[in-house]
Amino acid sequence: MNDYARGPLSGLRVIEAGVLLAGPFCGQILGDLGADVIKVEEPGRGDPMREWGRERPYGKSLWFPVLGRNKRSVTLNLRVPDGQEVLRRLAAEADVLVENFRPGTLERWGVGPDVLWEINPRLVIVRVSAYGQSGPYAERAGYGSIGEAMGGIRYTTGDPDSLPSRVGISIGDSLAGTFAAVGAMGALRVAEATGRGQIVDSAIYESVLALMESLVPEYALGGYIRERTGSILPNIAPSNVYVASDGGMVVIAANQDTVFRRLAEAMAQPELAVDPRFAGHTDRGRHQRELDELIAKWCAGYGGDELLELLHRHGVPAGRIYTAKEMLTDPHFAARDAIVRLEHPDLGEFPMQNVVPKLTATPGGIRGVGPELGQHTDEVLRDVAGLDDDEISRLRAAGVV
């Protein structure tokens, strides 16, 4: 077994003091890549994510086993001096601390960056928040939905005739967690070289803004505001959802000239590729509605499987719109282990998405579903914080753990 058997971050210790999604998603990514992630949770309650999720068989969340995977759970009351002292002892033995409390909270608890760096100068402190650690909005309460609204993705999502729509997942939180993980790995490289840690400041609204392509210069330089466009790419055609005769929904993306010619051949209508309305990229964009109507009519003459087989045979990018049902039975998902099945202590076989991206030599992996609340408290306090059994018993009697 080599040093990186668990993944490229094997040997790295992360203290995750965050709750809900943004901070813990950063911890999930680091844990997937092999880090030892110690999740600090409030005694008796734990992370509220333990209660979230649409379906809860046997009273169990189906979200937390995913978000909490590859982590060890320690209960610790950070609002009292004894709990804060234990966190300082854990941080002394860690490489990264992740938190997503409102800015200033760690400082009020006596475990702010300056205090922690006196104990461990090379500690990387990842701070995830709605608005960032500075600026006039920093201390405002905020959730991912607010960051999505301010970052631009809400305004541009949905049908043009409706109010701005949610993407369908907590994209703002997940983006902030993802960028936090990227920042943590960059800061770790510097810490290894210099012996000094730094703050990774990941704001939800900025993480969303980072994905907004040329939205800002389009307005600043051209006076253009992107609007909601539903299922199409404005002026880029064909790129839309089409319905087969059996009701299956298929996305076809054939907007490049050479690909559109292949689509025209698949449709047995090669003349479309030289039609002045559709011959070039700009022409197709100008006549997008007409082209979509032609393609929709053609798609309606085939069942979904037959339609896809025909499109793939002609080299036209196309694919079904999947739900979880299709993902669990798709042979390509299976061949790449995109979904893995673990054992849950109460629910039995538990499928979830695998680690992304795939590294060929040190791929990381999922070692277990999210732990029970406080499952690893004694072992972590003993092995990492260096407490003996009497000290742990005292803390437990006082309600600190």
Indicate if 173 belongs to the active site. yes
* Residue type at position 71: K
Q: Taking residues 230-254, what's their average pLDDT?
A: 93
- Catalytic residue, candidates 32, 36, 47, 173: 173
Q: Which pair of tokens denotes residue 333?
A: 């998902």
Give the model's confidence band at 1: pLDDT under 50 very low, under 70 low, under 90 confident, else very high: very low
Q: Taking residues 169-185, what's their average pLDDT?
A: 96
Contact 256, 250 (CB under 8 A): no
Only one residue has tokens 């990492």, namely 384
Q: What is the CATH number of domain 239-325?
A: 3.30.1540.10
Give the model's confidence band at 55: pLDDT under 50 very low, under 70 low, under 90 confident, else very high: low
Residue 33: predicted pLDDT:
96
The pLDDT tens digits for 250-282 are 999 999 999 999 999 999 999 999 999 999 999
User: Which residue intervals of the chain bear CATH 3.30.1540.10?
Assistant: 239-325
Residue 54: predicted pLDDT:
64
Q: Any bridge partners for residue 348, and if so which?
A: 344
Contact 31, 368 (CB under 8 A): no
Q: Taking residues 341-369, what's their average pLDDT?
A: 94
Reply yes or no: is the peptide bond before residue 351 cis, omega within 30 of 0. no
The kind and range of the H/E element at 308 are helix 304-313
User: Which residue intervals of the chain bear CATH 3.40.50.10540?
Assistant: 13-211+336-397
Contact 50, 372 (CB under 8 A): no
Please provide the size of the chain in residues. 401
Question: Euclidean distance between the first and final Cα of the chain, in Å?
Answer: 35
Q: Taking residues 149-166, what's their average pLDDT?
A: 93
Residue 58: predicted pLDDT:
67
How far is residue 68's CA from residue 71's CA, in Å, rounded to a whole number? 6
Residue 216 has pLDDT above 50, yes or no: yes
26 CB contacts (<8 Å, ≥6 apart)? 16, 18, 98, 126, 128, 176, 177, 178, 180, 181, 184, 202
Q: 59 or 361: which carries more pLDDT confidence?
A: 361
Contact 38, 13 (CB under 8 A): yes
13-211+336-397, CATH topology level: Rossmann fold (3.40.50)
314 CB contacts (<8 Å, ≥6 apart)? 262, 263, 265, 266
The pLDDT tens digits for 187-200 are 999 999 999 999 99
CA 23, distance to chain mean position in Å, is: 11
Contact 343, 291 (CB under 8 A): no
Residue 177's nearest CA partner among 18, 52, 298, 323 is 18
Residue 57: predicted pLDDT:
64
Only one residue has tokens 């002609």, namely 314
Rounded to two decimals, the pTM is 0.92
Cβ atoms < 10 Å from Cβ of 130? 26
Going by the DSSP 8-state scheme, the letter that residue 83 receives in this structure is H
320 CB contacts (<8 Å, ≥6 apart)? 248, 249, 250, 251, 304, 308, 326
The pLDDT tens digits for 275-308 are 999 999 999 999 999 999 999 999 999 999 999 9
